[in-house]
Chains A and B, each alone.
Chain A
């Protein structure tokens, strides 16, 4: 995380699944056999390109760039709701429980045909929240997740 952008694979259960392994162009993800093995990210090979984010059927892979600027981080996540935000939009960013954490600025919205409907959105947020922010809040800018 100190060296640059890196993938975070939040896949913690042994389910038969391995598209992430083939998705990485740098061989930075291994699952092997049996395919229920948890994916292992090799940080030294990961360039933070984000190619693994859209192919994950569980939407469980994210990208974190801690020192995007001196004060902000960039967090990239898969997103399959409409309407998609636009580049430059200010969006309410949420944590893994959907709770509002901070305002964020949309830096990119990637939704090419190859993703088959899984858009990948990156938001710029204060560095302090880069390990929490994983989505755009569906319920607005409230703090109680309701």
Chain B
């Protein structure tokens, strides 16, 4: 049976950052990803990241991905691709499939960095070709250079909806409108400003009523919502579109943590059911850690920091880092994460994360 010291599930920003921290101090790491290419969501992010210099602000997401990958290659981290993990066993065995064969990998520590998946939205016509997740559209345009449509309605004004609208226009599509059910825009003002400058109307307090078309999307009917979130009769508008993108949030991909017996808690602002974890990113199952969107939907910058935290904690637990060295590294990571979790957008996430850790630590008393 294959063995490793640390098995990292997911080669996105959290997983790669975690692997680097372990490999850097001499640990044997194996990263396992179901995709054909590593990097997770990073390679779709063609916009410049925010934060400070240590968060690599001003660098486009995919360049950060390239930097992480180069580092893993330099450190001889084993990255297994086309290898979906289907099970985690109580004896710390990871079961995955590669080349139509089932493989078992025994690990001393496991870091689950499986990320999150887009939420769906059900409405009449939502199954017509042309209706897709905003993330799916982003993969098509930024990774595969395929334009999914020419006239787009974007549903959702969080950063994903705002950024993907901008990128769809960069790719040559016309974003006819962006609608948001809440009475205010959810994402950053500067992202909204970019699409407003391009002439995209943003209709807050609006939702989709139905999508019309024979074989594919031909038009969409939107309707205004009142202060009780009820449709306002007579406010319907029909927009001619061939694509409807849905950007209504993400939910952590937690199946493997459930399988392993990790305890969960429901935190709505983090995306739903998330595994309990302590300040070392360790779950209630000893030796099993989490990092990135699986521990609460945030962003790539915090995913990388959580990955570094989990990786450092694993390295310490394996005796590759002494207590003092690990303490210093973890303190620096927490400082950088704290800087990202401030301000009107970050405060809510910081409180949610503090609540999650509080509940997790209390539960282990």
B170 interface residue per 8 A CB criterion: yes
A51 interface residue per 8 A CB criterion: no
With A15-B188, A116-B60 as contacts: A59 and B194 at CB distance below 8 Å: yes
B30-77 residues with Cβ-Cβ distance < 8 A to A are: 47-53, 55, 57-60, 63
Interface contact A16-B191, CB-CB below 8 Å? no
**In the bound complex, how far is the Cα of B190 from the Cα of A16, in angstroms?**
13
B332 interface residue per 8 A CB criterion: no
**In the bound complex, how far is the Cα of B53 from the Cα of A95, in angstroms?**
31
**In the bound complex, how far is the Cα of B174 from the Cα of A137, in angstroms?**
13
Interface contact A13-B199, CB-CB below 8 Å? no
B121 interface residue per 8 A CB criterion: no
A12 interface residue per 8 A CB criterion: yes
- The majority secondary structure among interface residues of chain A is loop
| 8 Å CB contact of B343 from A16, A98, A99 | A16
Contact with B along A1-42 (1 / 0, CB 8 A): 000000000111111111100100000000000111000000
Q: How many Å from the CB of A47 to the closest CB on chain B?
A: 21
Most buried by A among B50, B60, B197, B340: B197
B147 interface residue per 8 A CB criterion: no
Interface contact B199-A138, CB-CB below 8 Å? yes
Q: How many Å from the CB of A83 to the closest CB on chain B?
A: 11
With A34-B339, A36-B343, A98-B199 as contacts: A13 and B188 at CB distance below 8 Å: yes
A123-146 residues with Cβ-Cβ distance < 8 A to B are: 134-135, 137-139, 145-146
Interface contact A35-B51, CB-CB below 8 Å? yes
Q: How many Å from the CB of A52 to the closest CB on chain B?
A: 11
| 8 Å CB contact of A138 from B63, B198, B201, B339 | B198
Contact with A along B91-126 (1 / 0, CB 8 A): 000000000000000000000000000000000000
With A96-B196, A116-B60 as contacts: A36 and B190 at CB distance below 8 Å: no
A60 interface residue per 8 A CB criterion: yes
Q: How large is the interface on A (under 10, 10 to 19, 20 to 34, 35 or more residues)?
A: 35 or more
B266 interface residue per 8 A CB criterion: no
**In the bound complex, how far is the Cα of B196 from the Cα of A98, in angstroms?**
6
With A94-B197, A98-B197, A145-B201 as contacts: A15 and B345 at CB distance below 8 Å: yes
**In the bound complex, how far is the Cα of B96 from the Cα of A137, in angstroms?**
51
| 8 Å CB contact of A81 from B170, B201, B340 | B170
Interface contact A10-B60, CB-CB below 8 Å? no
B359 interface residue per 8 A CB criterion: no
Q: Which residue on B lies nearest to A21, using beta carbons?
A: B52
Q: Which residues of A contact B191 (CB under 8 A)?
A: 58
Most buried by B among A57, A59, A82: A57
**In the bound complex, how far is the Cα of B165 from the Cα of A138, in angstroms?**
14
Interface contact A18-B52, CB-CB below 8 Å? yes
Q: What are the 10 A-B residue pairs with the smallest beta carbon separation, nearest first?
A: A98-B199, A58-B190, A36-B343, A57-B48, A14-B343, A17-B50, A19-B58, A135-B197, A13-B189, A145-B199
Can you list 7 pairs linking A and B with CB atoms under 8 Å apart? A16-B55, A16-B343, A34-B339, A59-B194, A60-B190, A116-B59, A146-B199
Interface residues of B (CB under 8 A from A): 47-53, 55, 57-60, 63, 169-170, 188-191, 193-194, 196-201, 339-340, 342-346
